[in-house]
Amino acid sequence: MKVKLILPALTEAESPFWRPIKYSLFPPLGLATLAAFLEEEDEIDLQDQHVETLDLTDKPDLVVIQVYITNAYRAYRIADHYRAKGSYVILGGLHVTSLPEEAAPHADSIFIGPGEETFPMFLKDFRAKSPKKRYFSPVRTLSKLPAIRRDLIKRNRYLVPNSIVVTRGCPHHCDFCYKDAFFEGGKSFYVQLVDDALAEIDRLPGRHLYFLDDHLLGNTRFASELFEGMKGLNRVFQGAATIDSILRGNLIEKAAEAGLRSLFVGFETFSPQNLRQSNKKQNLKKDYEEAVNRLHALGIMINGSFVFGLDDDDTDVFKRTVEWGVENAITTSTYHVLTPYPGTRLYQDMEKQGRITTRNWDLYDTRHVVYKTAKLTPEQLKEGYDWAYREFYSWRNIVRASIRHDAPKHMLKHFLYAGGWKKFEPLWNFLIKSRNLNNMLPLLEAILSRVSGKKEKELENQPASRPILTLDRSEG
Ligand code: SF4
């Protein structure tokens, strides 16, 4: 059987502000995970439109398309094209799960929620010539998953080919997040067996890993055992976690010891009223600066996520947020215009209040204002968002933030990471065009090497019997 798996490009990937590097970071892991359920004799072609031109001249027996909100229209056009040719087309992903009725006319079958259970069920039905129109699985487990078909990934086209996901979902319930809508009807947070996760890590070449899990520290026991198993593997890794998990217990120290060097943290807003509006309870009454200091003391760089446009935001929010990020030496910031994705509680609330101003999904890219704002005008919000990016990544602020670290090595890493990420676009474009992106990995690994943070130095001076942070100093 000929099978084609397609990730259509997000609409913003064609905008004049498109940064090719931003869309050449991670391979389509979800599709490679589904491919693992196909038979050895199946002929599989996995195409990611972010890094290659789609070949639409073929006629596969089965076409699998992953749909996000801003590639939805493109995904539907591709689906219609292949159906007209006689291929069997299935659609799945976040947007299909949010709006199944919209997606269904473009597909022979649609998938709602995660596909690890339903895709093998579909394949059985398809081979028996009796596929269903809709697949939904309330069963959620990651045990006995076949090994991801990483051989289908064109590694040299990605900066971070070693992306990995060892959990699904998140234990929290923020109103603006897709998570609850995607996992509705079953467990919304579950983890792999630690041994399976370690086996997957073992299959990945080189040192660098990027955990794409929504919340790598979400299950303390799992994360603790995972980090224990990773100790001594000489890996460096990046991931995401919440403020409360950074402040609780000593999990973050274990992560650092296992090789965590940079963390994506959802600060989102400093306003308690905004946090309540978003049901982001895990951030309420948490000391953001304490979390930042704890990470810095461990030599972990921070990618802070911030949302603009919540109802308590006024015109000062942009300056306050940028200044806080610089003052607290946040390495990189990701700013978002609040976006009410369909299927989320935020969308339902805004719809009830008549605040949704457009349903053009191409604009739901967290850069456009698609709802009626409260204290800010849509223009102020958009301008403030653009200003925040320009200001935070000005050379002046990159230098100011870098020199706030204690260790010279941390200063240099901060400077190279933030500057390299935002200031060398022509170089990134050249590397992408010449298919050499993957050759930058050793440099990334060097930048992510260990820093002797304050906390590590304190621990070095304590008696040898201290149980944690027996760190390999060779990288420092
Ligand atoms: S903590 Fe992050 S992943 Fe979890 S529900 Fe909130 S926004 Fe979503």
- Any domain includes 396: yes
Average pLDDT over residues 52-67: 96
Average pLDDT over residues 169-189: 93
> What CATH number did the domain enclosing 13 receive?
3.40.50.280
CA distance 259 to 376: 42
Determine if ligand 1 sits within 6 Å of the CB of residue 30. Answer: no
CA distance 268 to 286: 13
Helix (H, G, I), strand (E, B) or coil at 257: helix
- Any domain includes 146: no
> What CATH number did the domain enclosing 294 receive?
3.20.20.70
Q: Are residues 111 and 163 in the same domain?
A: no
Instruction: Check the CA dihedral 354-357-363-365 and report its sign.
Output: negative
- Any domain includes 41: yes
Q: Answer yes or no: pTM beyond 0.85.
A: yes
Q: Is the pLDDT of residue 463 over 90?
A: no
Q: Are residues 185 and 333 in the same domain?
A: yes
pLDDT band at 24 (very low <50, low <70, confident <90, very high): confident
Q: Is the pLDDT of residue 440 over 90?
A: no
Residue 285's pLDDT is 86
Helix (H, G, I), strand (E, B) or coil at 110: strand
Enter the tokens of residue 341: 């994705």
Q: Are residues 103 and 211 in the same domain?
A: no
Distance 426 CA to ligand 1 centre (A): 34
Distance 386 CA to ligand 1 centre (A): 24
Count of domains forming the chain: 2
pLDDT band at 242 (very low <50, low <70, confident <90, very high): very high
What are the angstrom distances between the C-alpha of 332 and each of 201, 325, 328?
A: 26, 9, 11
Enter the tokens of residue 83: 């159906």
Residue 462's pLDDT is 42
Q: 254: left (phi > 0), else alpha (psi -120 to 50), else beta?
A: alpha
Contact status, residue 333 vs residue 285, Cβ threshold 8 Å: no
- Residues β-bridged to residue 267: none
Contact status, residue 174 vs residue 223, Cβ threshold 8 Å: no
pLDDT digits (tens, 9 = 90+) for 73-88: 999 999 999 999 999 9
Contact status, residue 265 vs residue 294, Cβ threshold 8 Å: no
Residue 464's pLDDT is 33
Protein residue with its CA nearest to atom 8 in ligand 1: 177
Determine if ligand 1 sits within 6 Å of the CB of residue 214. Answer: yes
Q: How many other C-beta atoms are found inside a 10 Å radius of the C-beta of residue 400?
A: 14
- Any domain includes 150: no
Calculate what percentage of the chain has a pLDDT beyond 90. Answer: 76
Average pLDDT over residues 250-267: 97
- Any domain includes 326: yes
DSSP 91: E
Residue 139's pLDDT is 85
Q: Are residues 165 and 129 in the same domain?
A: no
pLDDT band at 18 (very low <50, low <70, confident <90, very high): low
Distance 87 CA to ligand 1 centre (A): 37
For a substitution probing ligand 1, which of 242, 275, 366 has the most ligand atoms within 8 Å of its CB?
Answer: 242
What are the angstrom distances between the C-alpha of 368 and each of 82, 96, 161?
A: 31, 22, 30
CA distance 316 to 261: 32
What are the angstrom distances between the C-alpha of 451 and each of 246, 294, 414?
A: 18, 14, 11
- Any domain includes 469: no
Q: Are residues 165 and 44 in the same domain?
A: no
Protein residue with its CA nearest to atom 1 in ligand 1: 172
Residue 71's pLDDT is 95
Q: Is the pLDDT of residue 56 over 60?
A: yes
Higher pLDDT, 117 or 22: 117
Determine if ligand 1 sits within 6 Å of the CB of residue 218. Answer: no
Distance 220 CA to ligand 1 centre (A): 16
Residues in CB range of 319: below 8 A, 6 or more apart: none
Distance 60 CA to ligand 1 centre (A): 37
* Residue 215 Cα: closest atom of ligand 1: 3
Residue 437's pLDDT is 79
What are the angstrom distances between the C-alpha of 294 and each of 214, 248, 300, 308, 462?
A: 21, 11, 9, 25, 18
Residue 351's pLDDT is 97
| Backbone torsions φ then ψ of 451, nearest 5 degrees | -115, 140
pLDDT digits (tens, 9 = 90+) for 391-418: 999 999 999 999 999 888 889 989 988 9
Q: 285: left (phi > 0), else alpha (psi -120 to 50), else beta?
A: left
Residue 457's pLDDT is 52
The enclosing H or E element of 264 equals: strand 260-268
Residue (of 13, 77, 100, 3) closest to 45 by Cα position? 3
Distance 127 CA to ligand 1 centre (A): 38
Average pLDDT over residues 267-278: 95
Q: Are residues 251 and 374 in the same domain?
A: yes
Residue 467's pLDDT is 25
Q: Are residues 311 and 360 in the same domain?
A: yes
Q: Are residues 89 and 32 in the same domain?
A: yes
Q: Are residues 231 and 110 in the same domain?
A: no
Residue 177's pLDDT is 95
Domain containing residue 34: 2-136
- Any domain includes 274: yes
- Any domain includes 443: yes
pLDDT digits (tens, 9 = 90+) for 122-162: 999 999 999 999 999 888 889 888 999 999 999 989 989 99
Q: Are residues 293 and 371 in the same domain?
A: yes
Q: Are residues 180 and 238 in the same domain?
A: yes
pLDDT band at 21 (very low <50, low <70, confident <90, very high): confident
CA distance 276 to 280: 6
pLDDT band at 183 (very low <50, low <70, confident <90, very high): very high
Higher pLDDT, 340 or 448: 340
Residue 39's pLDDT is 96
HSE-CB for 356 with a 13 A CA cutoff:
18
* Residue 280 Cα: closest atom of ligand 1: 6
**Beta-strand relationship, 167-169 and 189-191:** antiparallel
Residue 144's pLDDT is 81
Determine if ligand 1 sits within 6 Å of the CB of residue 170. Answer: yes
Q: Are residues 166 and 28 in the same domain?
A: no
- Report how far Cα 442 is from the mean position of its chain's Cα atoms: 22
| Backbone torsions φ then ψ of 224, nearest 5 degrees | -60, -45
Determine if ligand 1 sits within 6 Å of the CB of residue 213. Answer: no
CA distance 135 to 144: 20
Residue 426's pLDDT is 77
**Mean pLDDT across the chain:** 91
Protein residue with its CA nearest to atom 3 in ligand 1: 214
For a substitution probing ligand 1, which of 167, 174, 244 has the most ligand atoms within 8 Å of its CB?
Answer: 174
Distance 155 CA to ligand 1 centre (A): 29
Distance 427 CA to ligand 1 centre (A): 34
Determine if ligand 1 sits within 6 Å of the CB of residue 174. Answer: yes
Distance 193 CA to ligand 1 centre (A): 22
| Backbone torsions φ then ψ of 345, nearest 5 degrees | -65, -35
HSE-CB for 230 with a 13 A CA cutoff:
27
